[in-house]
Chains A and B, each alone.
Chain A
Amino acid sequence: DVKVTQSSRYLVKRTGEKVFLECVQDMDHENMFWYRQDPGLGLRLIYFSYDVKMKEKGDIPEGYSVSREKKERFSLILESASTNQTSMYLCASEQAGNQPQHFGDGTRLSIL
């Protein structure tokens, strides 16, 4: 079974802090994604990566950056956290070639 592991289930940070969300997958997938999920807005794509050191902006990249130094790990970075970034963050990975995405359990992030 595919395993996508997000480092924290719950996280509380303060406004202005730099926040790192980590995601690791164990299936050698090429593609990895970060989404945020908010009530009534569904899943919104922040960034994705289709290879090591490659990244592409999704629909809502502002205020975020990402890092993919190794194939199995995709990190989401909030450069200076703000209260409007309080949300559920979901990481997903996918084998290239029209395959389904597999999700982690999510990180519920609160910015105070």
Chain B
Amino acid sequence: GQQLNQSPQSMFIQEGEDVSMNCTSSSIFNTWLWYKQDPGEGPVLLIALYKAGELTSNGRLTAQFGITRKDSFLNISASIPSDVGIYFCAGQRGTGGFKTIFGAGTRLFVKA
């Protein structure tokens, strides 16, 4: 079936460093989504991307919808301890959530 390859699986970084993670697929998506999940909580939507090439920021977070529609990346600048958590990408192929595919997640650890 369809898969999203999200990398890296985990990252250990120092506070203040920039972070980059990405998702790739062999399939085309119409929408890319990025979520963050804090320990013991549900995922929270960070950024939604709807057009190929779109670059969107949310505070220190920046995400881009790849031109080929098969990939997306998320950057976090100047990381802080509360950035710790699991970051998920998700791709949507069309209308209806049953066409949403989630990546396996990138677990981020930030050392103060």
In the bound complex, what is the Cα–Cα distance between A59 and B105 (angstroms)? 18
Interface segment, A12-20, A72-80, A94-102? A94-102
Docked-complex contact A96 and B88, CB < 8 angstroms: no
B107 CB to nearest chain A CB (Å): 10
Interface segment, B13-21, B40-48, B57-65, B70-78? B40-48
Contact of B43 among A31, A40, A56, A90 (CB under 8 A): A90
B7 CB to nearest chain A CB (Å): 13
Docked-complex contact B95 and A43, CB < 8 angstroms: no
Interface flags for B45-56 (1: CB within 8 Å of A; 0: not) read 100101000000
In the bound complex, what is the Cα–Cα distance between A94 and B43 (angstroms)? 14
Docked-complex contact A92 and B98, CB < 8 angstroms: no
A11 CB to nearest chain B CB (Å): 14
Docked-complex contact B97 and A31, CB < 8 angstroms: yes
Residues of chain B having any CB pair with chain A under 8 Å: 1, 30-31, 33, 35, 40-45, 48, 50, 88, 90, 92, 94-98, 100, 102-105
